[in-house]
């Protein structure tokens, strides 16, 4: 079956058409500047990548252009809309209502809407994409795959904050976690690579991208993760602060005369390695900067790696042990320096890294030595494929 995977934001929409039998990408692309002017980037497998300006006042036009490109006589990859068997939508927040992916129905969408408060920037945008698709493909079954669902197995002690309990009762303020599709995909693949049983393995997945989170997966279930009610908590990220002393907000509000909007903007967009270095949120720039003697770039790298190592240590304690550590996403898959620095802190676990193997980029590879007590791997994530698999399983 061909599955159209859609990841819809407020002004952009990424898509991939995946043949689920061969698990290959038939075409992929991106609609940008929706509601502003509009630009479509499209690439059929093995074909040329094209970018063209197209008026996209709403997501409906954007999805129409995607369908037109996919079914185009020359550059298309399917004959007609009928050859698209299902659509898988990435949905960010399923609150406590969704512990797994779900077929999209009116009732299901109502339940997702009830979670909008928890992700006001993401969920409404995701739902606009669903609406537009339903309009243009009314007879095609659709599935919603949530970033939060995998973490619904966390025990209460991992998700309740040290706040008055009434806020959990009234507003469901708790840890939810994100990147669940990636953590699930990578932890499963780690077990496969090791030839181990997924139901009998303790894995820590380090999803280190621009947004970054860590997940403790015990016997196939997420038992803790570093992002919280929102994706701001946990690791230091590209531009997000991660964990800080909450009282810093009051301190800065007074000193800098900042209101809550300005503070949140600072924490989400001006902090992290970008804020610390003053140079870039991209680890390639930070490495180049540090090599050239930029001290703050080096500090940013040091803080990032130290925080990752501290989380790995705490999740090892949470699971009373760890069998495997998997690195994934842009930094985890490509940055051998970060992997090496993180693992240097973990010698007490009996971890030994093979420096030669650790040079690998963007491929599945075991970077620990055969003697290492804990296996350390690079496992490229593939959230689109994971969404396609979930979609096929449900339709
Ligand atoms: P997201 O999906 O959260 O936007 P990605 O997983 O695509 O993030 O990761 C993007 C980040 O990965 C970049 O900001 C950069 O820091 C890092 N990255 C990508 N390629 C490399 C590389 N070759 N070496 C080091 N870091 C890289």
Give per-residue pLDDT as tens, 306-343: 999 999 999 999 999 999 999 999 999 999 999 999 99
Place of tokens 């049983």: 197
The whole-number pLDDT of residue 121 equals: 84
- The answer to whether residues 133 and 201 belong to one domain is no
Q: Which of 53, 72, 147, 257 is catalytic?
A: 147
Query: What angle in degrees, to the nearest 10, is found between the helix axes of 123-136 and 106-113?
Result: 160
Instruction: Select from 92, 212, 283 the residue to mutate for testing ligand 1; criterion: most ligand atoms less than 8 Å from CB.
Output: 283
| Cα 208 to ligand 1 centre (Å) | 8
Hey, is 255 helix, strand or coil?
helix
Kindly state whether residue 31 falls inside one of the protein's structural domains.
yes
Range of the domain at 266: 196-383
- The answer to whether residues 241 and 109 belong to one domain is no
Kindly state whether residue 171 falls inside one of the protein's structural domains.
no
- The answer to whether residues 234 and 137 belong to one domain is no
Q: Is the pLDDT of residue 361 over 90?
A: yes
- The answer to whether residues 138 and 264 belong to one domain is no
Mean pLDDT within 47-73: 96
Mean pLDDT within 365-370: 98
- The answer to whether residues 239 and 377 belong to one domain is yes
- The answer to whether residues 271 and 364 belong to one domain is yes
Kindly state whether residue 169 falls inside one of the protein's structural domains.
no
Place of tokens 């479509």: 40
Q: Report the nearest-CA residue for atom 19 of ligand 1.
A: 330
CA 53 – CA 39 distance, rounded (Å): 4
Q: How many domains does the chain have?
A: 2
How does pLDDT run across 290-302, given as a tens digit for each residue? 999 999 999 999 9
- The answer to whether residues 10 and 106 belong to one domain is yes
- The answer to whether residues 114 and 201 belong to one domain is no
Kindly state whether residue 182 falls inside one of the protein's structural domains.
no
| Cα 332 to ligand 1 centre (Å) | 8
Euclidean distance between the first and the last CA atom of the chain, given in angstroms as a whole number = 10
Instruction: Select from 210, 288, 289 the residue to mutate for testing ligand 1; criterion: most ligand atoms less than 8 Å from CB.
Output: 210
Kindly state whether residue 174 falls inside one of the protein's structural domains.
no
| Cα 300 to ligand 1 centre (Å) | 15
- The answer to whether residues 231 and 129 belong to one domain is no
Q: Which of 80, 111, 146 is the last residue of a domain?
A: 146
Kindly state whether residue 158 falls inside one of the protein's structural domains.
no
Kindly state whether residue 278 falls inside one of the protein's structural domains.
yes
For residue 43, which of 64, 29, 25 has the smallest C-alpha distance? 29
For residue 76, which of 91, 90, 86, 65 has the smallest C-alpha distance? 65
- The answer to whether residues 234 and 107 belong to one domain is no
Phi, psi of 53 (to 5 degrees): -80, 130
What is the position in ligand 1's atom list of the atom closest to the CA of 211?
A: 3
Contact assessment for residue 179 and residue 213, using Cβ atoms and an 8 Å cutoff:
yes
- CATH code, domain with 99: 3.30.420.40
Q: Is the pLDDT of residue 120 over 90?
A: no
Q: Which of 83, 111, 146 is the last residue of a domain?
A: 146
Report the run of H or E that residue 358 belongs to, with start and end. none
Q: Give the mean pLDDT of the chain.
A: 97
| Residue 19: exposure state from Cβ atoms within 10 A (0-12, 13-18, ≥19) | middle
| Cα 246 to ligand 1 centre (Å) | 28
CA distances (Å), 249 to each of 237, 240, 256, in order? 18, 14, 10
Mean pLDDT within 266-271: 96
Tell me the sheet residues that pair with 328.
207
**β-strand pairing of 24-32 with 39-44:** antiparallel
| Residue 136: exposure state from Cβ atoms within 10 A (0-12, 13-18, ≥19) | middle
Complete DSSP assignment for 200-229: G-EEEEEEESSSEEEEEEETTEEEEES--S
Contact assessment for residue 321 and residue 346, using Cβ atoms and an 8 Å cutoff:
no
What is the position in ligand 1's atom list of the atom closest to the CA of 287?
A: 25
- The answer to whether residues 74 and 213 belong to one domain is no
Q: Report the nearest-CA residue for atom 4 of ligand 1.
A: 210
Q: Is the pLDDT of residue 206 over 90?
A: yes
Based on the residue annotation, tell me whether 106 is a catalytic residue of this protein: no
Mean pLDDT within 133-139: 95
Q: Is the pLDDT of residue 22 over 90?
A: yes
Q: Is the pLDDT of residue 386 over 90?
A: yes
Report the run of H or E that residue 377 belongs to, with start and end. strand 375-378
- The answer to whether residues 21 and 79 belong to one domain is yes
Q: Report the nearest-CA residue for atom 15 of ligand 1.
A: 282
Confidence class of residue 256 from pLDDT cuts 50, 70 and 90?
A: very high
| Cα 328 to ligand 1 centre (Å) | 10
Kindly state whether residue 29 falls inside one of the protein's structural domains.
yes
Q: Which of 86, 112, 146 is the last residue of a domain?
A: 146
């Amino acid at each position: 079956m061909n599955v159209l995977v859609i990841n819809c934001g407020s002004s952009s929409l990424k898509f991939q058409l995946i043949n689920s039998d061969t698990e290959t990408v038939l075409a992929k692309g991106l609609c940008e500047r929706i509601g502003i002017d509009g630009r479509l980037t499209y690439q059929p497998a093995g074909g040329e990548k094209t970018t063209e300006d197209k008026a996209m006042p709403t997501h409906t036009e954007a999805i129409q252009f995607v369908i037109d490109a996919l079914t185009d006589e020359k550059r298309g990859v399917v004959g007609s809309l009928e050859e698209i068997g299902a659509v898988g939508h990435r949905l960010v927040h399923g609150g406590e209502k969704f512990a797994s992916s779900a077929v999209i129905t009116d009732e299901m969408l109502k339940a997702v809407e009830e979670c909008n408060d928890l992700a006001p920037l993401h969920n409404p945008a995701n739902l606009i994409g669903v609406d537009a698709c339903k309009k243009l493909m009314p007879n095609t079954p659709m599935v919603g795959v949530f970033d939060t669902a995998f973490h619904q197995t966390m025990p209460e002690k991992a998700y309740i904050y040290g706040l008055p309990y009434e806020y959990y009762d009234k507003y469901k303020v708790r840890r939810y976690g994100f990147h669940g599709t990636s953590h699930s995909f990578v932890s499963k693949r780690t077990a496969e690579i090791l030839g181990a049983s997924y139901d009998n393995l303790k894995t820590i997945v380090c999803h280190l991208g621009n947004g970054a989170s860590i997940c403790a997966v015990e016997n196939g279930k997420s038992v803790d993760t570093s992002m919280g009610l929102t994706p701001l908590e946990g690791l230091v990220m590209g531009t997000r602060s991660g964990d800080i002393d909450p009282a810093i907000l009051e301190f800065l509000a007074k000193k800098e005369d900042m209101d809550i909007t300005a503070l949140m903007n600072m924490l989400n967009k001006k902090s992290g390695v970008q804020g610390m270095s003053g140079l870039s949120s991209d680890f390639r720039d930070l490495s180049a900067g540090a090599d050239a003697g930029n001290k703050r770039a080096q500090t940013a790298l040091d803080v990032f790696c130290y925080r990752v190592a501290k989380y790995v240590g705490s999740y090892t304690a949470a699971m009373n042990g760890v069998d495997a550590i998997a690195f994934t996403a842009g930094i985890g898959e490509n940055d051998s320096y970060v992997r090496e620095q993180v693992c240097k802190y973990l010698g007490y676990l009996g971890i030994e890294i093979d420096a030669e193997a650790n040079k690998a980029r963007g491929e599945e590879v075991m970077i620990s030595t055969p003697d290492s007590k804990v296996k350390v791997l690079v496992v490229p994530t593939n959230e689109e494929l994971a969404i396609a698999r979930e979609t096929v399983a449900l339709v």
